[in-house]
Chain A
């Protein structure tokens, strides 16, 4: 799909709800940082040399070998997108918010299926990313590694025998690898265990943050868990650690859901039913309320309380009702009140369409 279409399409393969453990692990992401040898890092580059980086990547992805090995990727400069389109790419998790700051000489290359992307001139020259639905870290690493090899076939990386891949920030040096899973943990939040459970994670060299909102106050009960250490371990070790900790979290979340359903069935069904009712009938809704209710609805679907709504639609709605996407869908700038009206309308429409099929 061309990038101009990607920014209008609310759906992205990572929202598919496919892949293992997709009831809790929404998506798996692997990102690696790479820099080109002989060029200063992006924050030290002048305009001309920043353009050199973009052109070098363009040439690399146009190469025949790259296309055979990795497939087609389209490159677009940030300045050739509208502000809303740029924001949409952030909301779809295809680029980081940092790519929007002083974006004149920044660019992104995205594969047609939106699984692979390469951010250019963010903190490092290249940030390669693979984003997949469900619990598929190993697969994501394989795809990123292949993309990495494809680029390295023609690009010279800044690499040191002792320190590995050299990065602008010393916290990324070595493997340059940041692997993460996005987890939906309403059960642990409801039994009031999420803080203690997630607190222990840091002891395993991992870090956790709420996907929306600040700190541990994760709106929509969505949490992102990722590795902190990049130097001194193999990529396989880093991923094995994240995988085993995630498995523990999965077990804990499942246990919490079961306990809730067993001990607090009425309250749980009431909570889910109320969320569903509001989503189906409200006429105005803030993004904060939407994300909270959508999380409750998703839990209801996962527990079989709500039967006729497909689970992936909930994640799609979480993205679709973010501010920039809403503007893109409606096609004009919106006042905060209008936004809440359109948001509620969109949710009603999507939910009733899903029920009829």
Chain B
């Protein structure tokens, strides 16, 4: 059987693509299959993560088309518009998180189930933050210990929390 696309080489690969819910299977040669998969053909839009995210952003009220740009709908640092963000699913710079902050929060909650970083903090620039994060974790542990009625453990945790709070205040 010959390839459905180039009609020259033998078809060796089945490529299934789902576009807007329609499933379509093609029998292709290896070369055409690869070209389609890297998206150079473009007769099907590539369904990737950003398309999905883009759809999600529309749900949260980010504009769907090239809308009239209103004040505040643009990052003051890099100039990224809400519309471009909604289309590409990519922010333009670190400051975008501040400019679009309140609108982004529900999106982040939907993606991650959470809106607060609990992980690593830069070693050189984030010294104080690291202490704060550890403090948050200890407080959560304390609560858990209390609810399990492990009072010895809770007392221990409380001491460590006080110690940390002192360190933070002293800077």
Q: Do A and B bind each other?
A: yes
Using a CB–CB cutoff of 8 Å, the interface residues on chain A facing chain B are 35, 37-41, 43-44, 97, 123, 145, 148-149, 152-153, 156-171, 173-175, 177, 214-215, 217, 229-235, 237-238, 286-288, 323, 336
**Residue pair B119, A169 in contact (C-beta under 8 Å):** no
Interface size class of chain B, counting residues whose CB lies under 8 Å from the partner chain: 35 or more
How distant is the Cα of A234 from the Cα of B93 in the complex, in angstroms?
A: 24
Majority SS of interface residues in chain A?
A: loop
Q: Which residues of A contact B90 (CB under 8 A)?
A: 41, 43, 123, 168-169
Closest 6 CB pairs of A and B: A232-B114, A164-B117, A158-B94, A231-B112, A175-B119, A166-B94
How distant is the Cα of A287 from the Cα of B13 in the complex, in angstroms?
A: 10
How distant is the Cα of A157 from the Cα of B119 in the complex, in angstroms?
A: 15
How distant is the Cα of A171 from the Cα of B57 in the complex, in angstroms?
A: 12
Listed stretches B30-38, B64-72, B149-157, B160-168; interface member: B30-38
Q: Does B73 contact A (CB under 8 A)?
A: no
Q: Which residues of B contact A165 (CB under 8 A)?
A: 117, 120
Q: State whether A37 and B94 are in contact (beta carbons under 8 Å apart), knowing that A175-B117, A288-B13 are contacts in the complex.
A: yes
| Complex partner residue of A232 from B38, B91, B118, B124, CB under 8 angstroms | B118
Q: Which residues of A contact B30 (CB under 8 A)?
A: 286-288, 323, 336
| Complex partner residue of A166 from B49, B97, B123, CB under 8 angstroms | B97
**Residue pair B38, A97 in contact (C-beta under 8 Å):** yes
Besides A44-B92, A171-B49, 6 other A-B contacts (C-beta < 8 A): A41-B93, A123-B90, A157-B125, A159-B121, A163-B116, A323-B30
How distant is the Cα of A49 from the Cα of B16 in the complex, in angstroms?
A: 40
Q: Which residues of B contact A171 (CB under 8 A)?
A: 49, 53, 111
